[in-house]
Chain A
Amino acid sequence: MSARIEIKGVARKFGSNEVLRGVDLSVSAGELLGIVGPNGGGKSTLLMLMAGLLRPTSGTITVCGIAAERLALESAGKVGLVLAKPGLYPLLTGWENLIYFGGLYGLSDADVRKGAAESLQRFDLMEHMDKRTSGWSTGMQQKLSLVRALLLKPEVLLFDEPAANLDPVAADMMYQELRSRAEAGLACVLVTHDLHAAQRYCDRVVFVQVQIQREVKPQAQATPEDAQLLSVWKEVVA
């Protein structure tokens, strides 16, 4: 499998605060990588670096062979992003949100409607698309954020706590979607506090606390207590 994301010797500081140091990591096509760790450990920073939305203080990150910070202007659409907050305009309808973001990538209204139809049907959003998203539930908004991420048929999917505000059913749907996209050949990264989800859906899990502290291959059969991940977590955090 070829590496879609390559991270070499990456460090990131915010002022004098060192959030990441010496991170080496790669994510292959068809792989779902989980990133877990304590609050402030650098997980979300690492994901934002992969998306090119933050720049490393040192080291390099390439996504699909392109320096991450140049992705947006040189090869936009290769990365799909879903964050804990859906990032929608509440005064716009579902369609207006999708058409706006799609339009920024050069898609016409018709392209957006056609490209999103299948996902919208699958997530039961189609009948709500002419209503303003301010009236939608958080789960519906998050599903629309996912549809937006898939609209451009990305090669890499980056999820940062996508289920943070979702009920268990919606959260499970989100994780399953990510899993199926990885199986379809996308390189996927999931930042989460949900050890059960990391255990159940990811191919590999890394613990991040400033550096990558440990890498774990989840067991085939996840236990409810997630004993393996939890014990590593406790050990790392301690």
Chain B
Amino acid sequence: MKRVMLVAKTEMLEQRRQVSMLGVMLANYLLWNVAFLAVLVTLNASRDNPQAMALITSQALSLGICDGESALNGMVRLSNSTFGAVMFTTMPLFVAILSGYSVLNDRQNSTIPFLMLAPLSRYQLVLGKLLGAMGIPYAMHVVCVGVTTMIAGKMAVMEPFQAQFGGSPAWWVAFLLGTPASGFLVGSLGTVISGLSKDVRTSMQYTSFAIGILSLAFGHILFDRITSGVGVQLGFAIGAVLGGIVILFVGSKIISRDLA
């Protein structure tokens, strides 16, 4: 485990020095969180403004999102589901990109022969790279989404949605465990695909498809199932971690020690 953590630590050290990459990731988080809060603040302030409520109602009716509820609630529900699905998708996406790139980076820097000469199994290497790829996206996820959830939870317009947002224990399980777990699962696939690919182009093509589709799917599943309760969310998190371990284990067996 010491070697796995050393690989992970070194991965994170390298990522911390990729300032532009960190900037892009942070900008993405800030953009979505600020936009979400701006929408909620606007909707919250519109409650006592008849003109604004009339505009919201007409917009909600034209969009068809008032299904048996008030237009205001329909708009808030739409904002919540968009925010939740995007935020639960973003971290797995970033993890998979960083972990997949990390293997390509080793290929480009010609460090693979030197790593393979060390007493480190392929499983330990890919696990370390994946864990290292999770650190920074997870920190951004926790800080940005956590702060936004707390601020949003204090707004009056969010009261009817506490059960599927910050007020629900299932939300916190999905936010703190389910998202990194799906990041681990999708990232394991990205790492293994990169390890198996013979060139950067092939790796990028395959990882883009697999990662993009899976991240979107898991993001939506996580958010949609918040009302199913803590048990379902915990089950998803545990299943995703186990799935990731299986993918890494099988992948590290397929990627032979033969560098050809």
Task: List A residues at the B interface (Cβ < 8 Å).
Answer: 14, 48, 51-55, 69, 71-73, 76-77, 79, 81, 83, 85-92, 96, 100-101, 103-106, 132, 148
Residue of B nearest to A145 (CB): B114
List residues of chain B with CB within 8 A of the CB of A88: 109, 111
List residues of chain B with CB within 8 A of the CB of A69: 257
Taking a contact as CB atoms closer than 8 A, the residue among B14, B117, B119 that contacts A51 in the complex is: B117
Asked whether B24 is an interface residue with its Cβ less than 8 Å from the other chain, the reply is no
Structural contact, B260 and A14, CB atoms closer than 8 A: yes
Q: How many Å lie between the Cα of A14 and that of B198 in the bound state?
A: 14
Query: What is the CB-to-nearest-CB distance from B50 to chain A, in angstroms, rounded to a whole number?
Result: 58
Asked whether B259 is an interface residue with its Cβ less than 8 Å from the other chain, the reply is yes
Q: How many Å lie between the Cα of A105 and that of B6 in the bound state?
A: 11
Residue of A nearest to B113 (CB): A53
Q: How many Å lie between the Cα of A55 and that of B120 in the bound state?
A: 17
Structural contact, B18 and A51, CB atoms closer than 8 A: no
Structural contact, A103 and B6, CB atoms closer than 8 A: yes
Asked whether B3 is an interface residue with its Cβ less than 8 Å from the other chain, the reply is yes
List residues of chain B with CB within 8 A of the CB of A14: 260
List residues of chain B with CB within 8 A of the CB of A81: 113-114, 117
Q: How many Å lie between the Cα of A55 and that of B258 in the bound state?
A: 6
Query: What is the CB-to-nearest-CB distance from B128 to chain A, in angstroms, rounded to a whole number?
Result: 10
* B-side interface size class: 20 to 34
Residue of B nearest to A101 (CB): B114
Q: How many Å lie between the Cα of A203 and that of B12 in the bound state?
A: 45
17 additional A-B pairs beyond A48-B259, A92-B10, beta carbons within 8 Å, are A14-B260, A53-B113, A53-B258, A54-B258, A54-B259, A54-B260, A55-B257, A71-B117, A72-B257, A81-B117, A85-B110, A88-B111, A90-B109, A91-B17, A96-B13, A100-B6, A106-B119
Q: How many Å lie between the Cα of A81 and that of B117 in the bound state?
A: 9
A-B contact pairs, 29 of them (CB 8 A): A51-B113, A52-B117, A52-B257, A53-B113, A55-B256, A55-B257, A55-B258, A69-B257, A71-B117, A72-B116, A72-B118, A72-B120, A76-B117, A76-B118, A81-B113, A87-B111, A87-B112, A88-B109, A88-B111, A89-B10, A91-B14, A91-B18, A92-B10, A92-B13, A100-B6, A101-B114, A104-B6, A104-B118, A104-B119
